[in-house]
Amino acid sequence: DRLKLSFEKRIPFTKNLVATELLKIMSSKQTTLCVAADLTNSTDILNLAEQVGPHICALKTHIDIVDDFHENLLKPLKEIADRHNFILFEDRKFADIGKTVELQYSKGVYKISSWAKLVTAHSLCGKGVLDAIKGAEGLENRGVFLLAELSAAGNLIDEAYVKKTLKLAEEYPELIVGLVSQNPLTNNPGLLQLTPGVQIDTKSDNLGQQYNSPEIIVLEKGADIAVVGRGITQSNQPAVAALNYKNILWQAYLNRIKQ
């Protein structure tokens, strides 16, 4: 059962090298925290990465919201990620025909495949998206988190869509690192559950985002990795806030795997 196994014991079940790396980082740094660096200024992103770096397993970006984006952002960002041992994760949510996804993933201003070991993809468009990511130029080791559920109020995903997403994930074990979901959908110890919509003391924003507490998402909703954005980025002391989320999440995980 995925929920009762330690991250270390789950490593042999993964068939993707980024998943293996992620599980090793989570175990050694004792963190399941992924910070969503949803900031629109390059310097702010670098400062945030430096501050929260020691406490995270991955930094999730929306690179297309950066006002002053220049490829010069990527070198220092990679350097910070290497030094603090976390993974760069572009939340691109690919959803188009395979050929277009191939171009969006590897070309254009952002050349995502050259720096992000992890990306997200919607299952909506089917296999072509995953074949495109698999075959495109870029980093040798790459992994995909497939979106199975959303934290957005009123989203159109239903039970059948979730089931079909799970089936698609199982067809690409060498590419799929895990699922983005709000509930425990699989017992496969080789798949990681990434859960956004996490904040302490806040239940929603004014645009449909829905939050659960760190304890609830780990103990009741099955999260392995928690995505926290504004709960940390809007804090006066992001490093302190990140450490606090990290500690609460890790304790909840220890309680979950306790026999």
Our CB check for ligand BMP shows the closer of 11 and 199 to be 199
Would you say 2 is a known binding-site residue? no
93 catalytic per annotation: yes
Give min distance, CB of 9 to ligand BMP, in A. 27
* Distance (Å, whole) CA 17 – CA 29: 18
Among 209, 223, 226, 250, binds ligand BMP (CB under 6 A): 209
Residue (136 or 157) nearer to ligand BMP, CB = 157
- Contacts of ligand BMP in 142-161 (CB under 6 A): 150-151
Tell me the backbone φ, ψ of residue 61, rounded to 5 degrees: -115, 155
- In the 8-state DSSP scheme, what is residue 100? H
Q: Assign 3-class secondary structure to 29-54.
A: HCCCEEEECCCCCHHHHHHHHHHHHH
Q: Pick out residues in 19-38 that bind ligand BMP (CB under 6 A).
A: 36, 38
Separation CA 6–CA 27 (nearest Å) = 9
91 counts as catalytic:
yes
The answer to whether residue 59 forms part of the interface with ligand BMP (CB under 6 A) is: no
Nearest distance in Å: CB 248, ligand BMP: 15
Of 136, 131, 92, 132, which is closest to residue 114 (Cα–Cα)?
136
Q: Give the residue, chosen from 33, 39, 88, 180, that forms a contact with ligand BMP under the rule CB under 6 A.
A: 180
CA-based end-to-end distance of the chain? 12
Residues binding ligand BMP: what is the number (CB under 6 A)?
A: 15
Residue 238 makes contact with ligand BMP by CB under 6 A = no
By the rule CB under 6 A, 227 interacts with ligand BMP: yes
Q: What's the CA gap between 249 and 198, in Å, rounded?
A: 10
Q: How many CA within 13 A on the CB side of residue 97?
A: 2
| 68 carries an active-site annotation | no
Residue in 196, 214, 222, 238 binding ligand BMP, rule: CB under 6 A: 196
* CB-based contacts of 112, cutoff 8 Å, min separation 6: 63, 90, 92, 104, 105, 106, 119, 138
> Closest CB to ligand BMP among 11 and 231?
231
- Binding stretches for ligand BMP (CB under 6 A): 36, 38, 62, 91, 150-151, 180, 196-197, 209, 227-231
What residue numbers does the annotated binding site for substrate cover?
38, 60, 151, 209, 229-230
Active site residues: 91, 93, 96
